[in-house]
Amino acid sequence: MDKLIIKGGKPLKGEVRISGAKNAALPIMTASILSSGKNTIYNIPNLMDVKTMGRLLSNMGAKFDHKDGLVTIDSSSINNFEAPYDLVKTMRASVLVLCPLVARFGRARVSLPGGCAIGARPINLHLMGLEKMGAKIQLESGYVIAKATRLKGASIYFDTITVTGTENLMMAAALAKGTTILENAAREPEVVDLANCLISMGAKIRGAGDSVIEIEGVEELKPIKNYEIIPDRIETGTFMAIAGITGGDLTLKDCRPEHLDAVVMKLKDTGVVFKETKKGLRVIGPKRLTAKDVKTIPYPGFPTDMQAQFMTMMTIANGTSVIKETVFENRFMHVAELKRMGADISIEGGTATIKGVNKLKGAPVMATDLRASASLVVAALCAEGETVIHRIYHLDRGYEKMDEKLRHVGADIERVTS
Ligand code: EPU
């Protein structure tokens, strides 16, 4: 298992290229199931989760290849409509094959994802929507078995805003008979990217990016042709946090700052300076950050996927900040590790209170989930002395070459394989 050894305390300076968005890549890869033929998708990051999705699609009979950011998926040979437990348990986003399989082949057998480190994360809303569209759903030995001759359009209201739920049902609706309305839909840029990709395949979708999406089903969809996915807004935000906390000066290339308005505004309040330049977005950290409160909410609110990194910034800010996590019930796993580095944080329910200290100190720490791991990297880069981050396979699931990118801007970071 690899670990990272980081000697912190240096302001990081230079240019960082932002990779394609993991959470856009995964649903768009599953959209290939909706067509029969050769799909080509650009700007796909080289990540463990992308490899897992490739294995899942190959296991279904598709031909998958990933080279230099280009993914090709030949979906004409899909003949197995199953997502097995072994793959779903490594990556919850595997559940995104459910609706495309039912929409195109009329059946799917998909392992139910269990709980995960950050919360229970049920998929009841995905199933409720699919059932409303006419699918017969059974739960058997830990698997969801869904069948339908042809899905039909329906009006679906989400009690809770769900990103992959909206994406799954948008894919179901794209090939259904009639019109589907998704109400209280997720508005994340990744949902819009999937909608744009589906539209390029011939789908009829209106309103993606708003909370009501209307999809008029079509008889068939063409394969994806040279679709380029959006840059990763959470990777962008993580590098903003790194520039901010190290008092650094990073220019983020190929990013889309308009996907991070809430993060940019909040970081500005803490003293981080942003400048649009020809090369990209320049992010300059202050001498000392100012404490600010934050509440995570679905897009366009402050993203839960940036909560851990923001909290790390607040550990050494001037003042006390209060962070409310409202999306997931257990997303404070990084707190115990940050405290081992000297942070002063107390938690009550979904609220964390962080009293800024003068500095963090290096320590051995353990990564517990993807964004918690990222927050430990952020902490280590500003901490005095050496931090060893164990179990960084979590980080490798969602950040492309993070250690290389950091080394390139002056970080003292080493990956050790043991
Ligand atoms: N929820 C339900 N029922 C459902 C679906 C969701 O109650 O059927 C609840 C969840 O338990 C949670 C809330 O709704 O409390 C929001 O969950 P959502 O479904 O939006 O999360 P997700 O689609 O499983 C995606 C991202 C996550 C990101 C969340 C929130 C992908 C592949 N994953 O998850 O990304 O945190 O949206 O923005 O898009 C990450 O990249 O580190 C990550 C966890």
Show pLDDT as tens, one digit a residue, over the chain (418 residues).
Answer: 899 999 999 999 999 999 999 999 999 999 999 999 999 999 999 999 999 999 999 999 999 999 999 999 999 999 999 999 999 999 999 999 999 999 999 999 999 986 677 877 899 999 999 999 999 999 999 999 999 999 999 999 999 999 999 999 999 999 999 999 999 999 999 999 999 999 999 999 999 999 999 999 999 999 999 999 999 999 999 999 999 999 999 999 999 999 999 999 999 999 999 999 999 999 999 999 999 999 999 999 999 999 999 999 999 999 999 999 999 998 999 999 999 999 999 999 999 999 999 999 999 999 889 999 999 999 999 999 999 999 999 999 999 999 999 999 999 999 999 7
Question: What is the spatial distance between Cα 100 and Cα 172, in angstroms, rounded to a whole number?
Answer: 6
DSSP state of 177: B
The maximal CA–CA distance of the chain, rounded, in angstroms, is 63
Strand partners, 390: 366
pTM: 0.98
Q: Are 166 and 26 in contact (CB under 8 A)?
A: no
C-alpha 190/C-alpha 259 separation (Å) is 10
Cis amide leading into 300 (omega within 30): yes
Closest CA relative to residue 185, chosen from 215, 160, 205, 203: 160
Burial of 176 (0-12, 13-18, 19+ CB in 10 A): buried
Of 99, 116, 255, 382, which residue is the catalytic one?
116
Report the residue among 162, 187, 233, 295 best suited for mutation to probe ligand 1: largest number of ligand atoms under 8 A from its CB.
162
What domains can you pick out in the chain, each with its CATH number?
2-19+231-417 (3.65.10.10), 22-228 (3.65.10.10)
Measured in Å, residue 183 CA sits from the centre of ligand 1 at 17
Handedness of CA 306, 120, 116, 213 (dihedral sign): negative
Closest CA to 39 of 69, 62, 68: 62
Annotated active-site residue 116? The verdict is: yes
Q: Which of 161, 297, 327 to mutate to test ligand 1, by most ligand atoms within 8 A of the CB atom? A: 327
